Amino acid sequence: MNKKVVTMGEIMLRLSTPGYERFIQSDSFDVIYGGGEANVAVSCANYGLDAYFVSKLPKNPIGDAAVNSLQRFGVNNDYVARGGERVGIYFLETGASMRPSKVVYDRAHSAIAEADVEDFDFDAIFKEADWFHFSGITPAISDKAAVLTEEALKAAKRHGVTVSVDLNYRKKLWTPEKAKEIMTNLMQYVDVCIGNEEDAEKVLGFKPGETDVTKGELELDGYKDIFKQMKDQFNFKYVVTTLRESYSASDNGWSALIYDGNEFYRSKKYDIRIVDRVGGGDSFAGGLIYSLVTGKDYKGALEFAVAASALKHTIPGDFNHVTVDEVETLANGDASGRVQR
């Protein structure tokens, strides 16, 4: 039987300026759909897993379009409740060189932000499930969404489901104080914790040494120190971080680090020229989940996840449209980019 992976969160309407235009100069937007856990579900479906997305969307044509955007890539939407007033929106201005990308949210009072626990039958959702993934974005959406997230986690644990979290701190959604209060409590349900240096500090209160990613410098000993603290405090099976070295908005170094309680392992590093970095972390989580749920060892899982997310940076949109074979080709050393014919 295929592995069943469940993710829960918000899928939004993304309105992005064409090319590299700024908001102030653009008179049109490109329309796509995406959002943290939805992006992870698409990755898992691409790799052949039974991927289910849990959310709530309004019963109108925009809600239908959001659902269809997932269905076309193989995500099962049986657990998407319909109702509520609106689909959340975010506006994206893509940066280049030394000019950073900008995101503006318009997502208050979206359907999932106003959803009730009674909208979902979590025992049915997690029946025969193998994995559940959520991010720190979902409980940040609203107080009701935070309650919903914990109820989902309790049900996942009742059914013996492995749980992963991407800490994903979003300063436009909540304060570090609120994030720590909510997320520290939710960590009791988590087996695999993913987060970068800002997430570890803002969400859980851990700071990694002298790392300064704005200078493209990494202090791995700092990460090792906080990974040990996180493992000791929350008893995670794995603690994982992506390592983004931001040379500019266009060029990044990209690798990752994993800790299993005994050994630290850093993946190979890719120097990537970015087409679209939105969803890069989600594509990493999707690759990691696929690898671990199908039995790869944690080192192989990390290499697959890093390769998958490196490829995502070359693809426009939120979703990572790559196959297992394409990811494994890169992970095994072919980064030539030569035409396949």
CA atoms within 13 A on the CB side of 22: 4
**Residue 301 near residue 291 (C-beta atoms within 8 A):** yes
In 3D, which of 34, 129, 29, 33 has the Cα closest to residue 78? Answer: 129
Strand partners of residue 194 = 166, 240
Q: Please state, in angstroms and rounded to a whole number, the distance separating the CA atoms of residues 113 and 135.
A: 14
Catalytic residue among 282, 318, 325, 334: 282
Strand partners of residue 55 = 80
In 3D, which of 36, 284, 312 has the Cα closest to residue 170? Answer: 36
| Cβ neighbours of 116 (radius 10 Å) | 12
Q: Please state, in angstroms and rounded to a whole number, the distance separating the CA atoms of residues 165 and 185.
A: 13
116 assigned to active site = no
Helix (H, G, I), strand (E, B) or coil at 133: strand
Q: What are the catalytic residues?
A: 282
